[in-house]
Amino acid sequence: MRIALAVLRRDRRSQVATVLVALGVMIAVSLVLWLVAAPNGLQARSERTVWREVFGESKDGAISVASNWDSYHGTLIQRFDVARARPGDVPVADGIARFPEAGEVLLSPALADLVRSTPPERLGNRFPGRQIAELGPEALKYPGELVAIVGRQEVPDGYPAPDLRGGTGPYQSDYQSMLTLLTRVGLVVLVVPCLVLVASAARLTAAKRERRLAALRLAGASPRQVVVMTAVETAIGAVLGSALGVLLAQPFSHVTATIPWEGGTWFPGDFVPSAAVVAAVALLAPVLVVGAAVLGLRRVVNQPLAAEKKRTVRPWRLLTIAGGLAVFFLGVTLAGQLRGDNRFTLVLLGLGAVALALVLAGPVVTSWVGGFFVGRWRGPSTLLAGRRLTGNPVAAFRGSAGVVVAVFTGSMALTMLPGLESQVPYRDATWREDALVAEQVKHDLTSLRLATSAPIVTMLEGRVGDDGHSAYAIVGDCEDMAKVLTGLTCRPGPAVYSSAPLPSTRFESADRETALPAQYETRPFDGRGRVGVVIDRELLPAVAGEVSMVGVPTTAENRDIVHTALIGTLPGARLVDGEQLDLYSDTLLADLERATVIGLSIAAVLGGIGAAVAAAGSVIDRRRTFAALIAAGTPIRVLARALRREVMVPVFAVTVAACGAGVAVGLGLLTVARGVVGHGEMPITPWVVAPVGVGVVVALVAALACGPVLRGISPRDYAAE
């Protein structure tokens, strides 16, 4: 231990290596703690919003609840209309003061402020009654969320629920599973570059350390003494870096809490990992770094005279890629057959195995590329680089490993993103953009007619045909329905408007089944949405007074007023407003794009830092060799070009394979995501190869880091060695 501490006090290169190890471990620990805390953030949101999963399996509940989405000027509002089904106490979740009776409302703080600053006919009348309290943060997904719980006398189309505490499991929004999957994928693919960075820092002065320890072994040092020297020398930087990483994780979590996700930012405590996780990561990081340094001493301990011997790589490393892909696609297959979040475990293990396999197989490709250049090129820079690649391919590839993983991650993400975007649901062309349509209407429309002067279109929805072949149909006055429905051109006289031949002459609504008359006229209908058949009400006199949908054409001036009138007078009815779906879809798409940009940026930065550290370390390790070449008259510019090619050549060769693996894994993950959110296309765009070019540029920039270190070498260093 005294020798190890003496080396750190007197050897400037060892001091630099210790500082870089500390920085590498600090970055890795803080990033891992952030990544581990991300699923905790989603879980914290789920626990706060579990009360929204209020739909019980029983047909007899203490309350009746209708959950709907609303919107106002580009912001989404989640609204819950509730009513008592029988007297008695109704338990509520944390953050909800009490169950609101008829004529009482609970609003989130942000919605309460918005209601106070907006004319009531445009927003406040959607939540009629006296506000008894504000929802606490324990009941909100994120700060600034707009949520309302409105007490009603009755909710005609509500679902029975026992209380307002929610189900037994966490609340799952439509895309919660997909977001959880993407978070875990990011955790896996970003941890690997962290490990590469730490390994590069830990091996910064590996060659010189091996020579020093081999000399000590030959001088009589025991294997235990050599191991302790290395452990002490490495542990100082690793422990310091781990402590700094834990300290850095706290302010970093507060910065991360400002990143929007699912429509809003986070509460400060969402991104704070548990104390057990922090302790585990803080202890595990130095153990792994010290363990890697000790494992690298096998030759020094067993064969000290072989410390300078060239290391060879075996082609079997290439088989690890096939093995990793096999595990991954086995996980994809099983994920399609299982249920629950645990079905992703084998997929994520396979993903990590593929990333590590690329790192293991990289030295083999590096050796082959070096042999190719040595055999066919005669330029001094290329020959020097080729000799380095063939002589020590493991050390030569070390600088490329992080960039290769970043390219793999980028190709995978750019393969998935277009496919996920194609599955994002936007508004269809069923209804006109200036129309508001309320579905599941079981109300008296007198209050609505009094609340707005806009024309009201009443319709009855149902289906024409049987279960095997049917079409969605609506019944109403054709001239009125043309004001809200796209593609409908009416002519005088009752008729059936259809975009295809009718599968049957029977119309089935929620309450009854009615046959069309024996003779009727069929006219074309250019429907581009989900409505396939439009029937004039005169053809079905049996359902003349029945209404299940209400449509209202609006203008820019009265849209908010009509919107408020529909919500305020038709409690529990679902408003089909394309703006809401577009807002939700835009939010989801922005989340996907933001997550992709953040993940790829972190991977590129980590890969670049790892490549720069490894490139600088290769110069430090070969200081004696470079000093001898400079003393022999080799221009520094030739050596600088050789060093750049040492980094660039393996990157260009291996990133092509990494790009192919990323595309294959991206398609597999997209298959799993399709099982979560539904069907969609799986397009592959030319952008999937863009990470190769970006990786080469990042590697080139990182390779420039060796320039200042190289210029600091002089012929005197050769004499000093």
Mind giving me the DSSP string for 72-106?
ETTEEEEEEEEEESSSS---B-TT--S---TTEEE
Query: Is the pLDDT score of 321 beyond 70?
Result: yes
Query: Is the pLDDT score of 289 beyond 90?
Result: no
- Structure tokens given for 350: 């396979």
- Point out which residues pair with 159 in neighbouring strands: 65
* pLDDT score, position 20: 79
What span, in angstroms and rounded, lies between the C-alpha atoms of 420 and 4? Answer: 54
Query: Is the pLDDT score of 676 beyond 60?
Result: no
CA 375-624-292 angle, 5° bins: 85
Query: Is the pLDDT score of 550 beyond 60?
Result: yes
Coil/strand/helix, residue 78: strand
Q: Which range (63-77, 211-225, 402-416) has the least confidence?
A: 211-225
Q: Position of tokens 């009941």?
A: 139
Q: How far is CA 205 from CA 199, 217, 662, 702, in A?
A: 11, 18, 32, 18
CB 123, CB 23: distance < 8 Å: no
CA 630-636-640 angle, 5° bins: 125
Map 177-240 to HEC letters.
Answer: HHHHHHHHHHHHHHHHHHHHHHHHHHCCCHHHHHHHHHHHHHCCCCHHHHHHHHHHHHHHHHHH
Q: Position of tokens 């010290």?
A: 290
What span, in angstroms and rounded, lies between the C-alpha atoms of 34 and 27? Answer: 11
CB 155, CB 64: distance < 8 Å: yes
Residue 17: which pLDDT band, with cuts at 50, 70 and 90? confident
The model's pLDDT over 697-717, given as tens digits with 9 standing for 90+, comes to 888 887 777 777 777 776 665
Say which residues have a Cβ less than 8 Å from residue 108's Cβ, sequence separation at least 6. 134, 135, 140, 145, 146, 147, 148
For residues 32 and 483, the model is more confident at: 483
CB 506, CB 475: distance < 8 Å: no
Nearest-CA neighbor of 691 among 185, 108, 144, 189?
189
What span, in angstroms and rounded, lies between the C-alpha atoms of 411 and 594? Answer: 16
Q: Which range (64-78, 184-198, 350-364) has the least confidence?
A: 184-198
Query: Is the pLDDT score of 680 beyond 60?
Result: no
- Looking at this protein, which amino acid is placed at residue 119? P
Q: Which range (27-41, 122-136, 275-289) has the least confidence?
A: 27-41
Query: Is the pLDDT score of 427 beyond 80?
Result: no
- Point out which residues pair with 261 in neighbouring strands: 264
Residue 175: which pLDDT band, with cuts at 50, 70 and 90? low
* pLDDT score, position 717: 59
The number of C-alpha atoms within 13 Å of 502 and in the hemisphere containing its C-beta is: 22
Task: Over range 583-596, report the average pLDDT.
Answer: 83
Q: How far is CA 22 from CA 28, 178, 204, in A?
A: 10, 36, 12
What span, in angstroms and rounded, lies between the C-alpha atoms of 663 and 655? Answer: 12
- Structure tokens given for 510: 């929620």
The model's pLDDT over 55-106, given as tens digits with 9 standing for 90+, comes to 555 566 788 898 888 888 888 899 999 999 888 888 899 999 999 999 999 9
CA 582 distance to own-chain centroid: 20
CB 393, CB 366: distance < 8 Å: yes
What span, in angstroms and rounded, lies between the C-alpha atoms of 122 and 112? Answer: 14
- Structure tokens given for 506: 């029977």
What span, in angstroms and rounded, lies between the C-alpha atoms of 179 and 160? Answer: 29
* pLDDT score, position 160: 87
Task: Over range 295-308, report the average pLDDT.
Answer: 64
Residue 168: which pLDDT band, with cuts at 50, 70 and 90? low
Widest CA span in the chain: 109
Domain coordinates of the chain in residue numbers?
Answer: 1-49+184-308, 53-161, 310-426+579-721, 435-578
Q: Which range (113-122, 196-205, 481-490) has the least confidence?
A: 196-205
Residues of the chain with pLDDT > 90: what percent?
Answer: 19
The model's pLDDT over 681-699, given as tens digits with 9 standing for 90+, comes to 556 777 788 888 888 888 8
Cα dihedral angle (6, 8, 12, 16), rounded to 10 degrees? Answer: 180
* Average per-residue pLDDT for the chain: 82
Coil/strand/helix, residue 701: helix
Query: Is the pLDDT score of 306 beyond 60?
Result: no
Task: Over range 338-358, report the average pLDDT.
Answer: 78
For residues 556 and 186, the model is more confident at: 556
* pLDDT score, position 459: 93
- Structure tokens given for 25: 């471990």
* pLDDT score, position 56: 52
Query: Is the pLDDT score of 542 beyond 60?
Result: yes
Query: Is the pLDDT score of 378 beyond 60?
Result: yes
Task: Over range 191-195, report the average pLDDT.
Answer: 75
Nearest-CA neighbor of 189 among 346, 405, 427?
405
Residue 603: which pLDDT band, with cuts at 50, 70 and 90? confident
CB 456, CB 573: distance < 8 Å: no
* pLDDT score, position 299: 65
Residue 341: which pLDDT band, with cuts at 50, 70 and 90? low
Query: Is the pLDDT score of 677 beyond 60?
Result: no
Looking at the chain, how many residues does it have? 721
Say which residues have a Cβ less than 8 Å from residue 218's Cβ, sequence separation at least 6. 304, 305
DSSP structural state of residue 261: B
* pLDDT score, position 174: 46
What span, in angstroms and rounded, lies between the C-alpha atoms of 324 and 327? Answer: 5
CA-CA-CA-CA torsion sign (48, 49, 52, 58): negative
What span, in angstroms and rounded, lies between the C-alpha atoms of 286 and 282? Answer: 7
- Looking at this protein, which amino acid is placed at residue 558? N
H-assigned helices in 303-392: 319-335, 345-376, 380-391
Cα dihedral angle (410, 413, 416, 421), rounded to 10 degrees? Answer: -120
* pLDDT score, position 675: 54
- Looking at this protein, which amino acid is placed at residue 113? D
Task: Over range 506-513, report the average pLDDT.
Answer: 84
Q: Which range (237-251, 269-283, 684-698) has the least confidence?
A: 684-698
Cα dihedral angle (174, 177, 178, 180), rounded to 10 degrees? Answer: 130
Say which residues have a Cβ less than 8 Å from residue 107's Cβ, sequence separation at least 6. 115, 127, 131, 134, 135, 147, 148, 149
What span, in angstroms and rounded, lies between the C-alpha atoms of 551 and 558? Answer: 14
Question: What is the chain's percent helix, strand, coil content, to nearest 5?
Answer: 60, 10, 30
The model's pLDDT over 111-155, given as tens digits with 9 standing for 90+, comes to 999 999 999 999 999 998 899 999 999 999 999 999 999 999 888
Beta-carbon count within 10 A of 8 CB: 16
Residue 439 parent element (H or E) = strand 435-439
For residues 218 and 550, the model is more confident at: 550
Say which residues have a Cβ less than 8 Å from residue 546's Cβ, sequence separation at least 6. 460, 509, 511
What span, in angstroms and rounded, lies between the C-alpha atoms of 583 and 427? Answer: 10
Residue 171: which pLDDT band, with cuts at 50, 70 and 90? very low
What span, in angstroms and rounded, lies between the C-alpha atoms of 220 and 217? Answer: 5
* pLDDT score, position 205: 63
